[in-house]
Structure 1
Amino acid sequence: MRLSADPRHAAPHAAPHAATAVRGRGDRRPAAPPRKRRARLALAALLPLLALAMALPPTAGMAQQREADMVLRIAAVVNDDIISVYDVEARTDLLVASSGMPDTADMRGRIRDQVLRALIDETLKLQEAERLGQSVSDENMAEAIRQVEQQNGIPPGGFEAFIETSGVDRGTAMRQIRAEVAWVKAVQALFRERITISDEQVDIVMDRLKAAQGKPEHLVREIYLPVDNPADEARVRENAARLVSQIRDGAGFAPLARQFSQSPSAANGGSLGWVRQGELDTTLEQALLDMRPGTVSDPIRTVGGFHILALADRRRTAVPDPDNARLTLSQLAMPARGPNALSAGTREEIKTVVRETVETCDDLNALAEEMEVPNSGPVGTVPVARLDGPMRDILTGLGENEASDPIRTPGGELIVMVCSREVPGGMPTAEAVRQRLFEERLDTLANRHLRTLRQQALIDVRI
């Protein structure tokens, strides 16, 4: 971010409190403005604050002068962007307010390195998003704030009130949210089209999940701290141990995950939801089996780094119960009587079209719309328990996106298709498994890219 005054005192023309893409070692980014010119811009942004501090009476100006001093002191330089001591203190205020950690000098000293590391990564993410032309819209921010409210137990629309009552700097809270959104968009732009999940990969996971039915599943949150360089091993382990200590002393897991975790689950406060056996690294699965609900693990070393797990609950994966399944259906009616009656020849033509061209419910719905026949198209979701007779047997025997043979009805004929099937206690769909594998692959590429950005960047830590 550019060096800027506290947003509560900055002049209207001061530089925005946001990171700007610059050129680092080995990068092909557009060249940054000359350093002398940037220094003049940064000094210009500080002049209103200095003038204000000089104009205030000694007592009234003491707090403002302390803030000015913190803004002037540089905590780190990331490429050509500056992180001030004020930025570090403001982010620490936010973390303390949201996590429930004690606001003591000792606690602040213990988490300062973690906060600064998070700010450095955040700056790199903002720089990369700007380099790729990924802007964050007001709608993006509004949706992200709604998620923050849900994850932190803040009433809907209560984010601004939380900021005001907690006394934290609004700018630092908004910057963190903006960086998360910008990074997601940057990673999607870079890697989405490069990831392909094969049917074979999906089948392997599905087979593993089938083998785990009836075994324990866990309600889990995680914090993931990568080890990018073997030389960082001890430092990352120490940071992980410090986080575990803070959580066991009463700090909130979700705010710490959102602040420090390098996993996609960080945006959801570290929540992984219910995890079945076979979905996690075997080292993590064994750790979960050894834990009691309501406890937090010690740091767990895996190939990529250290994990901290919080086990909220445990249950047995239920055996699928097809009788209580819910089916999402579409249908195509072919009336033989009434004002919309179709001739026998037309009905046969439609059956041929369905057999030869209809592969999904979308195809069937499009054909129904084209025919403009009443009672055709999406039906909605129907519990199997409410079906009886031949229709129940037909629908329970169909696979997803499989059309039935024509069914005779009092008014003509009917073709039905099962669009999706939700079976309590059952397996996730192949599409859900494919999406999870995609997200895991995207996560791996994102962490690798952030590591590359760190290696190429010019980072000068001064505190």
Structure 2
Amino acid sequence: MHMMRGLRSLLLALAIVGLAAPAAAQQALRAAALVNDEVISIMDLEMRVRLVMTASGISGSAEQRNRLAPQVLRSIIDERLQMQEAARLGIEAQDAEIDNAIARIAQQNNMAPRQFLDVLRRNGILPQVFRNQIRAKLLWQKVIAREIRREIQISPEEVDSVVERLMAQEGERRLRVREIFLSVDAGDEEQEVRATAQRLTQQLRNGAEFSSLARQFSQAATAAVGGDLGWLTPGSLPDQVANTLDEMQPGQIAGPIRTFGGYYIVRLEDTRQIAAIEETVNLKQIYLPLPGDAASSDIEEARARAEELAGQVDSCESMSNVAKSAGSANSGSLGEVKLSSLPENIRGAVADLPIDTPSRPIEVNAGIAVLMVCERSQSGIDRDQIRENLARQQLDLRAQRYMRDLRRAAHVDIRL
């Protein structure tokens, strides 16, 4: 897909939308672009430019409108490709779903849906234009869910790897970041996409709202949440972005940053240190009591008995049954215990013990014990959030490839 030049003449074409003469109305319906023979009219483009300016707080000057037009048109073209793909797959978005999405957006702006749509009208924006944008987003989310999301599986080992890395990074800086990502799918798009990224960066520095521009223009999966990446470590970002963020302070904006796939614009929201990590284990034990004056032979006999019992267990469930048969009141569940609070000999026995595996018999206070770890958890580390982040990264990458393939296969004719 190649975006033809000539958009500098757009303002004159857009200006006629507000005129009442039939010739002007006909001109407003003229094609700004064809996407696989589907028309994007000049009026479609004008309405969307107004929507972006209203949502982002950008001034309505002719210069700003001209700057916004190319990137807005690019976004509309992508939406049409996404809607066409949804139609090919037989995927639909119901009016009730669109109504619910508009109600949520209105609520975020402390308005009722009717009030929100009235604001659009007062700014010269047809509500149907906004509904069409919401429809496109919902359809693309459904396409991604059907074609990509269900194929993404994050293994426990992948989560464990991230947990280990975080534990090794204890005390390092974590970042709260927002992003706008613009892909470069072919060499002839480089100059155009960079120019778009530069314009967006300048608009952000002039006071435009980051989350609004992210929703309108970002091609990352985070566009739906205003570009919010949440809390992360620099190592989870492309090196070029991580190096830039390392020099930034909260509130600062940087970009465009060229990476392998395209250009990033980022805003550093906040920073914090990775908190000290406290590991908690859920323990069960087989406990064989010994008198305080037990002879060495008694201790060895109890140790042999403990080894025999340990050989009968292979899970926490069987551990409970064998512990009960041991006949000691102290056998059974110890519940959740902080690893750091355990005596050194017990901590050493269970620190690296695999789950559902009996420990070697160890001497404890007035007895011999076999321990088993049933669960592990780390305070300060949210495994579910890690799994979600890994899935989002894979989803984002695959969605970008999907969109790249749609663009490459499309016939797009810019008529301006």
Match of 1:445, SS? helix
Question: 2: distance between equivalents of 1:268 and 1:85?
Answer: 29
Work out whether residues 279 and 377 of structure 2, in 8 Å CA contact, stay in contact via their aligned partners in 1. no
Secondary structure in structure 2 of the residue aligned to 1:83: strand
Q: Which sections of structure 2, spanning at least 5 residues, go unmatched? A: 2-17, 283-313, 321-330, 340-349, 357-372
Aligned-partner SS, 1:394:
strand
Q: Which has the higher contact order (CA 8 A, sep 6+)?
A: 2
Relative to structure 1, the CA distance from residue 213 to residue 454 in structure 2 (aligned partners, 3 Å threshold; closer, same or farther) is same
- 1:1-12 pair list within 5 angstroms: none
Superposition TM-score, scaled by structure 1 size: 0.64
Q: What is the number of equivalent residue pairs in this alignment?
A: 330
Task: State the identity %.
Answer: 37
Match of 1:302 in 2: 259
Distance in 2 (alpha carbons) for counterparts of 1:66 and 1:111? 26
Task: Report the counterpart of residue 398 of structure 2 in structure 1.
Answer: 445
| In structure 1, C-alpha distance between the alignment counterparts of 2:45 and 2:170, rounded to whole Å | 47
Aligned with residue 138 of structure 2, among 174, 181, 190: 181
Rounded Cα–Cα distance in structure 2 between residues aligned with 1:230 and 1:199: 39
Which residue of the partner structure matches residue 458 of structure 1?
A: 411
User: Of 428, 436, 443, which aligns to 2:382?
Assistant: 428
State the shift of 1:450 in Å: 1.1
Structure 2 counterpart of 1:443, which letter? D
Residue 258 (structure 1) aligned with residue 229 (structure 2): no
Summarize the Cα distance change of 1:62–1:184 in structure 2 as closer, same or farther, 3 Å threshold.
Answer: closer
Change (3 A) 1:254 1:154: farther
For residues 343-391 of structure 1, the C-alpha deviation after alignment (integer angstroms, 9 at most, x for no partner) is xxxxxxxxx9982699xxxxxxxxxxxxxxxxxxxxxxxxxxxxxxx99
1:309 match: secondary structure? strand
CA distance in 2, matches of 1:171, 1:420: 52
Asked if the contact 2:316–2:374 (Cα under 8 Å) also holds between the matched residues in 1, the reply is no
For 1:433 and 1:393, the matched residues in 2 are separated by 28
Equivalent pair of 1:215/1:277 in contact (CA under 8 Å): no
Instruction: Establish whether residue 241 from structure 1 lines up as the match of residue 214 from structure 2.
Output: no
Matches within 5 A, 1:90-239: 90-149=47-106, 153-155=109-111, 157=113, 159-239=116-196
Taking the aligned partners of 1:293 and 1:282, their CA distance within structure 2 comes to: 19
**Is 1:208–1:278's contact at 8 Å kept on the other side of the alignment?**
no
Which has the larger Rg? 2
- Measure the CA separation in 2 of the matches of 1:154 and 1:69: 38
1:69 aligns to 2:23 (yes or no): no
Distance 1:355 1:67 in 2: 79
Q: Secondary structure at the match of 2:147?
A: helix
Task: Give the residue type in structure 1 aligned to 2:336.
Answer: L
- CA RMSD between the two structures: 3.5
Partner residue of 1:394? 335
TM-fit CA distance, 1:434: 2.5
Instruction: State the partner residue of 1:276.
Output: 233
Retained in 2: the 8 A contact 1:212–1:276? no
Are the equivalent residues in 2 in contact too, given 1:395–1:418 (CA < 8 A)?
A: no
Q: What is the CA distance between 1:419 and its match in structure 2? A: 9.2
